Structure 1
Amino acid sequence: MMKKGWDEFEIGAMLRTFDGSIDNIAGTSQDDRSYSENSSYTASVADWRLIKPIFNKDYCIDCQFCWIYCPDVSIISRDKKMIGIDMDHCKGCGICAEVCPTNPKSLIMFPEQSEDEAEIASWPAKDEEK
């Protein structure tokens, strides 16, 4: 099969992320999945990013919304617990931060050059409901 460049696909083309069976793909570790050659999993796309999500585990309730909605499979979850972000594949779309239900959010978007530790130290305080 001849490889196509990104601008050679027909409008509406679908690229499959995985080869073979995907019966238990959610229960399969990222390292054990059979990724297609067409998948961005094998190539870093982090240099596209202008803003990045920073994860504050102190506010996370492990709802898995970020994992479900991430279009790039960049949320790393093990045993239904959020453990981090695959920054090699995160494009900085912000969907994870948008769907996060915690108060304050456990994922907030910051400029790419931000230092994680400094941003976590300045994290918004929890709003107390009256």
Structure 2
Amino acid sequence: MANRGWDEFEIGAMLRSFDGKIDDIAGTAQIDRAYSSSSSYTASVADWRLVKPVFNKDYCIDCQFCWIYCPDVSIISRDKKMIGVDMDHCKGCGICVEVCPTNPKSLLMFPEQAEEEAEIASWPAKDEEK
């Protein structure tokens, strides 16, 4: 497939995520997957994201919901432990925040220019259930 810009594809074009046969995609580390040239994994989208998820490991229970539901495979997980967000490929959709079950959530959305350390320092306190 020739390299094309996003606006050069025909309506209804199917863009394959991977080249060749994939036997165990869930068991294959992100960096070892054969991504196609039309995949968002091969190109950074960070320059057009308006909001980004910030990860606070102190509240994470490693449920892997964010990893399962992320449409861009932007959640970095090793040995079933959440370790961060791949900001080169995260589009800022917020699905990871929506599916996070912790209280407060271990992922929250902030403006793209926000400093992660400052946002984590002002993280919401845990709501005590009555």
Query: If the length of structure 1 is used for normalisation, what is the TM-score?
Result: 0.94
| Pair 1:42–1:123, CA change in 2 (3 A) | same
Counterpart residue number, 2:94: 94
| 3-state SS in 2 of match to 1:25 | coil
Counterpart residue number, 1:19: 19
Cα deviation, residue 19, structure 1: 1.1
- Structure 1 window deviating more from structure 2 (30-39 vs 1-10): it is 1-10
**Structure 2 residue runs without a partner (length 5+):** none
Aligned equivalents of 1:74, 1:14: Cα separation in 2: 21
Counterpart residue number, 2:115: 115
C-alpha RMSD of matched pairs (Å): 1.2
Q: Any runs of at least 4 consecutive aligned residues in structure 1 with deviations exceeding 4 A, and if so which?
A: none
Aligned equivalents of 2:71, 2:87: Cα separation in 1: 13
Mapping 1:4-83, distance limit 5 Å: 4-83=4-83
Cα deviation, residue 5, structure 1: 3.1
Percent of matched pairs sharing the same residue = 86
Cα deviation, residue 22, structure 1: 1.7
Q: In the alignment, residue 52 of structure 2 is paired with which amino acid?
A: K
Q: In the alignment, residue 112 of structure 2 is paired with which amino acid?
A: E
| 3-state SS in 2 of match to 1:68 | helix
Counterpart residue number, 1:105: 105
Paired residue total:
130
Cα deviation, residue 21, structure 1: 2.1
Cα deviations by residue, 1:69-125 (Å, 9 ceiling, x for unpaired):
111110001111111000001111111111111100000000111110110010000
Cα deviation, residue 10, structure 1: 3.1
Q: In the alignment, residue 14 of structure 2 is paired with which amino acid?
A: M
